Structure 1
Amino acid sequence: MPTHHEDELDYTPTPHNVTRARTRTAHLAAAWGHPALAPDVALVTSELTTNAILHGSLRGRLIRVRLAVVDTTLRLEVSDPRAERVPHPREASPAEQFGRGLALVGALCDDWGHGPRDGVGKTVWAEWKLPG
């Protein structure tokens, strides 16, 4: 399948980089001709990057955020070094502050999942189908 657009950037696993990744992917989605998807891409980037920092980071290792348009799909990937810590959606009680991120991801994209990362770690991905 032809890749029409692609961008990837490594980040140190620190909270301020969640905002940087979110802003970058939203801007790219809009610049690549999909401005209606930019808010959803931004929010999903925020959720997956936060999860990578909280649950998948290791001292001295970077996380990678990749956005690409391949054929008729916009695909976001967030990779981290901890393959053993795979995402598991759960139902949070109304009193819980956390635990809703993956449900939100599932609601905002057409499909999502995870798999091994080339080398070490895992990649969590989200996809949106594009017209055409």
Structure 2
Amino acid sequence: MSLDGMTAWGRGHAVGFYALDGEGIDAVARFVADGWDLDECVVVVATAQHRAAVAELLTGRGYDPVARTDDGRYIALDAADTLQQVMVDGRLDPDLFLARAGEVIGQASSAGVPVRAFGEMVSQLWQNGLVEPAIELELMWNQLLRQHDFTLLCAYPTGAFEHAQLVDVRRVCELHTDLLPPSAVWEEGGVVEAGHACSRVYLPTPESVPAARHFVVDVLRAWGHAGLAPDAALIVSELATNALRHAGSPFRAVVDRRRGGLRVGVEDTTDTPLQRRDITIDDVNGRGAHIVEALSERWGSSPLPGGKVVWAELPLESGPAHVG
């Protein structure tokens, strides 16, 4: 994920998406270091593994987390332990959360310096399938932001939303002032195994369109249908652009091999269909439906719970498939 410009945003509630690798940990370390460079107090609520990895990176870059702790510029807490402190009978207790989190932010700001915080508690809930409590916790953080002046960065693992309902993903996005997608999102999926269908969820940011395009190309190459990749990628690119421009929605790119053909599509959280518009030769925009229609055997839109999918079908190449 990219945190470039984070310090310029001022107070706010951002959400980032990271892989459990060097890039994600490096981004968190830069977030902490940026705060120290501005003489801020930094709060990190993360797993023991991630806290240790961040501290190692910071030490390697000439920072001293222990000294910053002693100076009141660094507060590191365990995400699981902190969650246990604010839950009763398996449910989040708003009063306990506001009291505990307010205590930590108050301690961080006691020296009269700005505060920034990085947290993984929401991620812990989401990964355990506790979607509603995760969203409730996001709401509690927003309430705390109205009571205290600080910058908050929440994090979800890359791929956390792959099997989630898009309406839930949209709720998460709407609770944040900034979205920080992975900087190399289309390189994080790894090898795509041959199969019947693949899908991936993307945030409503401009980076998601090329990411979805690369995803489709990777899937089709893995399936041995590289010849279809250019047309399929362009179709998904147009549909993803439509989801961002007209729906402002997270979307799911889908590639499905069925009955001798290929179906590609984009799901979003609105019921507004993609429509053909009358265009002139001078029009720059508004050609999405025309492009999809020209490249596919047939296309259409189908309703889904909480939204729709716009799909297009292409014939599989004749003869044996080959990997391009």
One of 10, 26, 37 as aligned partner of 2:217: 26
Q: Which amino acid aligns with 1:35?
A: A
Runs of 4+ in 1 over 4 A off after TM superposition: none
Other-structure match for 1:89: 276
**CA distance in structure 1 between the aligned counterparts of 2:221 and 2:299, rounded to whole angstroms:** 21
Q: Do structure 1's residue 66 and structure 2's residue 254 form an aligned pair?
A: yes
Contact 1:76 1:127 in 2 (8 A): yes
CA drift of 1:5 comes to 2.2
What is the SS of the residue equivalent to 1:98? coil
Q: Deviations over 1:70-107 (max 9, x none)?
A: 12111112011111x21111221122221111111111
Other-structure match for 2:289: 102
**CA distance in structure 2 between the aligned counterparts of 1:127 and 1:69, rounded to whole angstroms:** 10
Gaps of 5+ in 1: none
CA drift of 1:10 comes to 0.8
Which structure has more relative contact order (CA 8 Å, sep 6+)? It is 1
Contact 1:5 1:32 in 2 (8 A): no
Other-structure match for 1:123: 309
Q: Which amino acid aligns with 1:99?
A: G
Q: TM-score, normalised by structure 2?
A: 0.37
Other-structure match for 1:75: 263
Instruction: Judging by fraction of residues, say which structure has more helix.
Output: 2
Other-structure match for 1:11: 202
Q: Deviations over 1:19-76 (max 9, x none)?
A: 0000110121122111111100111110000001111234xxx211111111211111
Contact 1:5 1:70 in 2 (8 A): yes
Q: Which protein shows a greater Rg?
A: 2
**CA distance in structure 1 between the aligned counterparts of 2:225 and 2:302, rounded to whole angstroms:** 26
Gaps of 5+ in 2: 1-194, 320-324
**CA distance in structure 2 between the aligned counterparts of 1:63 and 1:43, rounded to whole angstroms:** 16
Name the Cα RMSD after superposition: 1.4
Q: Which amino acid aligns with 2:307?
A: G
